Amino acid sequence: MSKKGTLPTNFKTVLEKGDKLYHPGISVDCTIFGFHENILKVLLLKVKQSNKWALPGGFIYKDETIDKAAYRVLQERTGVENIFLQQFNAFGDPNRSDATIHQNRYLEYGIKIPKDNWLLQRFVTIGFYALIDFTEVDINDANTNEGAEWIDIKKLSNLMMDHEAIVLKALESLRTQLAYLPIGRNLLPKKFTMPELQKLYETILDQKLDRRNFQRKMIGFGILNKLTETRKGGAHKAPFLYTFNDKKYQKALKEGLYGSW
């Protein structure tokens, strides 16, 4: 194997026996959202040799469900476990997995793939998005030879294949689901203020929300616990801290919320 790039140690097995191990023509790609300093970010993997960014993704074992594959791939590629993961779309444009593009990708690692190899076939990928507390993720734990980094969603560039389109579709789906599913538990610290929660929603929606209406709606959902503690240290009156009521939050995930922003 050439020294131009570094591929997983089991790549030879994937190359030679992958069509026997994995379901042909289907893969998964995960868009991982994190919220930090009022910025919505996406966790991407860097292919250093090509100066490209990629979503954590991988193949599906023949005896594996798609959901289990997404959890497994995300854990293997990033080291993250026990997260909220939502399937949102499938991407199957005939040109998304052009054989020439795939061949050139592997040539960046100094490897020439045989023309009839399964890796050069057309792949339909199933998109998932994950919501993660930025402070609980150590990107140095990512099990990748490429490197990982949190990227501002408004500053995406040089993504592989159609991965930028996948990220933007994930954001669109997240915005749509804000109307009937709760979020925040996986993106904020355990204790947070109402202004911090509102800023999260405003960042995702990319619009300003009325403070009173937002607070009334969030309290009306019944998924928050108001604490006696306050956030001290600011220039204004210290706001109260809140936590999510886990039991009611999980119920809302299953049964949904009602309303729109």
Is the separation of the CB atoms in 230 and 192 below 8 Å?
no
Q: Residue 189 is encoded by which pair of tokens? A: 């610290």
43 and 95 share a domain?
A: yes
Q: How far apart are CA 119 and CA 64, in angstroms?
A: 19
Domain that holds residue 225: 192-255
Q: Which CATH number does the domain housing residue 47 bear?
A: 3.90.79.10
Higher pLDDT, 141 or 140: 140
Nearest in space to 260 (alpha carbons), one of 222, 213, 223, 226? 213
168 and 235 share a domain?
A: no
21 and 144 share a domain?
A: yes
pTM for the model stands at 0.80
Q: Is residue 101 part of a domain?
A: yes
131 and 233 share a domain?
A: no
Q: Is residue 144 part of a domain?
A: yes
Using pLDDT thresholds of 50, 70 and 90, give the confidence band for residue 6: very low
Q: Which CATH number does the domain housing residue 237 bear?
A: 1.10.10.10
Cα→Cα distances 211→64, 86, 194, Å? 46, 29, 9
27 and 101 share a domain?
A: yes
Q: How far apart are CA 176 and CA 114, in angstroms?
A: 43
Residue 58: Cβ within 10 Å count = 19
197 and 172 share a domain?
A: no
Q: How far apart are CA 249 and CA 257, in angstroms?
A: 10
Nearest in space to 109 (alpha carbons), one of 261, 13, 238, 3? 3
111 and 221 share a domain?
A: no
3-state secondary structure of 174: helix
pLDDT at 253 over 90: no
Instruction: Quickly list DSSP for 50-70.
Output: TTEEE-SEEEEETTS-HHHHH
35 and 140 share a domain?
A: yes
16 and 68 share a domain?
A: yes
Q: Is residue 155 part of a domain?
A: yes
Which of these three, 123, 146, 177, is where a domain ends? 177
Specify the number of domains making up the chain: 2
Q: Is residue 62 part of a domain?
A: yes
Residue 172: Cβ within 10 Å count = 12
Which of these three, 136, 154, 177, is where a domain ends? 177
Q: What is the pLDDT of residues 153-209, one digit of tens each?
A: 999 998 888 899 999 999 999 999 888 888 888 888 889 999 999 999 999 999 999
Q: What is the pLDDT of residues 65-106, one digit of tens each?
A: 999 999 998 888 887 777 778 899 999 888 776 666 666 666
Q: Is residue 223 part of a domain?
A: yes
Q: Is residue 260 part of a domain?
A: no
Higher pLDDT, 133 or 260: 133
